[in-house]
């Protein structure tokens, strides 16, 4: 161990500090302790017993493997599942037999190692991680010779153009990843949803329109725009406006999830007096019925927990809380901006529809959001 790397550095090329030499009078560790014999080394009976234990474990493992096969074929799964003590019998016995069988092999082998294999510790010398000085020199010479013969140092034109070519060679690979995304990756796509002026709100499961009279104070409904909830035949209908006009053609089923995520709303009725009147949103409610995006402005979870008394809506994912009586403002938690509100109106029969798309992007914040 005369290698330099194992001695304390006396100086530091980069800095101005130095490490003092270690003290010489440190206690020297005593030699290896005497080996202590195990019972299995000196007592033939103990040795035989250990041998039998190991063999028994291996036999037990074989039995478990056979039982695994038995369990696999004898227990029913699926609709008519067999149960045992409330567990699914198949899963339980497959797990037990596989687990115990494997454990028995492991315990057996380790028992063998601990009781019967030599337990004499031996010592081995370490070597410094670095190669020998001689090896280093030889390698350095070979490297220098190789580089010399290539002429890479003497021909900067070749060297530099090669480096350039290699740098450019990566470009196609990176560019080819572009179409991982859609053709149109404009952030403006995130600003629009399926909603448009005159589009009716329907219940998210049934697909039926919502009448102002259906909602008592304190009621909350999950809604989607008409056109995003399949009808009884499983087709997406074309949304029809208050004047009977078709607002847009029926949506391709492929796009349903994408549009549903952005368009989900909650409809809530509160006492009109509870609403904090914001000058911009003077008449956005219908008799105290307000409508907000259901998608949290934090990272996009659907907001689900309504506190009826306070009109606070809590997102179960990260606890952002919004005040639905006050323009969806954040009152607690990590969300950075208010929940987008929808301008509501009701037709002559009292069915609720949107006065337009949200006036800001729904869902989580992003750079271009502004």
Q: Where does this chain touch other proteins (CB under 8 A) — which range of 15-23, 161-169, 244-252, 278-286?
A: 15-23
In angstroms, rounded to a whole number, what is the distance separating the alpha carbons of residues 128 and 78?
Answer: 61
Q: Where does this chain touch other proteins (CB under 8 A) — which range of 40-48, 166-174, 209-217, 349-357?
A: 40-48
In angstroms, rounded to a whole number, what is the distance separating the alpha carbons of residues 325 and 338?
Answer: 12
In angstroms, rounded to a whole number, what is the distance separating the alpha carbons of residues 334 and 202?
Answer: 30
- Pair 307, 313: CB distance under 8 Å: yes
Question: Of these, 65, 107, 217, 346, which contacts other proteins (CB under 8 A)?
Answer: 107
Return all residues near 84 (Cβ < 8 A) that are at least 6 apart.
92, 93
Q: How far is the CB of 100 from other proteins (least distance, A)?
A: 7
Residue 162 interacts with other proteins (CB under 8 A)? no
Interface residues for other proteins in 83-102 (CB under 8 A)? 87-88, 90-96, 98-102
User: For residues 322 and 351, which CB has a smaller minimum distance to other proteins in the complex?
Assistant: 322
User: For residues 286 and 362, which CB has a smaller minimum distance to other proteins in the complex?
Assistant: 362
Q: Long-range contacts for 20-27 (Cβ within 8 Å, ≥24 apart)? A: none
Interface residues for other proteins in 172-231 (CB under 8 A)? 177-178, 180-182, 185, 187, 189-190, 204, 222, 224
Q: How far is the CB of 152 from other proteins (least distance, A)?
A: 28
Interface residues for other proteins in 251-270 (CB under 8 A)? 254, 257-258, 260-262, 264
User: For residues 304 and 346, which CB has a smaller minimum distance to other proteins in the complex?
Assistant: 304
In angstroms, rounded to a whole number, what is the distance separating the alpha carbons of residues 252 and 236?
Answer: 8
Interface residues for other proteins in 275-304 (CB under 8 A)? 294, 298-304
Burial class for 61, CB neighbours closer than 10 Å (0-12, 13-18, 19+): buried
Q: How far is the CB of 36 from other proteins (least distance, A)?
A: 11
Residue 25 interacts with other proteins (CB under 8 A)? yes
Main-chain dihedrals φ then ψ at residue 123, nearest 5 degrees: -115, 150
CA-atom Rg of the chain in angstroms? 38
Q: How far is the CB of 71 from other proteins (least distance, A)?
A: 9
Residue 119 interacts with other proteins (CB under 8 A)? yes
Alpha helices (runs of H) in 151-214, residue ranges in sequence order: 156-175
Element (H, E) at 71: helix 44-74
């Amino acid at each position: 161990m005369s290698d330099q790397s194992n001695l304390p550095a006396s100086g530091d090329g980069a800095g101005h500090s130095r490490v003092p030499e270690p003290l010489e009078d440190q206690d020297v560790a005593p030699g290896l302790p005497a080996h202590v014999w195990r019972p299995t080394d000196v007592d033939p009976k103990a040795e035989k017993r250990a041998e039998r234990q190991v063999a028994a474990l291996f036999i037990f493992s074989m039995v478990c493997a056979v039982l695994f096969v038995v369990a696999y074929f004898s227990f029913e799964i699926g609709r008519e599942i067999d149960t045992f003590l409330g567990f699914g019998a198949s899963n339980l016995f497959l797990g037990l037999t596989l687990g115990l069988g494997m454990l028995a092999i492991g315990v057996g082998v380790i028992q063998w190692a601990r009781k019967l294999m030599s337990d004499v510790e031996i010592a081995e010398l370490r070597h410094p991680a670095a190669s020998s000085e001689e090896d280093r020199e030889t390698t350095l010479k070979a490297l220098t010779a190789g580089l010399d013969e290539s002429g890479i140092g003497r021909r900067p034109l070749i060297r530099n153009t090669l480096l350039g070519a290699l740098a450019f060679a990566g470009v196609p690979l990176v560019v080819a990843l572009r179409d991982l995304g859609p053709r149109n990756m404009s952030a403006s796509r995130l600003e629009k949803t399926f909603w448009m002026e005159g589009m009716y709100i329907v219940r998210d499961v049934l697909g039926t329109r919502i009448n102002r009279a259906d909602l008592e104070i304190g009621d909350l409904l999950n809604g989607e725009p008409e056109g995003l909830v399949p009808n009884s035949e499983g087709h997406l209908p074309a949304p029809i406006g208050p004047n009977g006009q078709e607002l847009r053609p029926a949506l391709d089923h492929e796009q349903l999830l994408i549009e549903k995520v952005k368009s989900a709303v909650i409809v809530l009725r509160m006492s009109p007096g509870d609403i904090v009147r914001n000058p911009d949103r003077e008449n956005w409610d219908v008799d105290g019925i307000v409508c907000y995006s259901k998608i949290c402005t934090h990272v996009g979870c659907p907001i689900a927990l309504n506190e009826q008394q306070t009109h606070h809506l809590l997102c179960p994912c990260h606890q952002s809380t919004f005040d639905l009586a006050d323009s969806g403002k954040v009152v607690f938690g990590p969300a950075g901006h208010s929940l987008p509100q929808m301008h509501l109106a009701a037709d002559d029969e009292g069915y609720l529809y949107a006065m337009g798309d949200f006036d800001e992007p729904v869902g989580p914040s992003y750079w271009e959001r502004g």
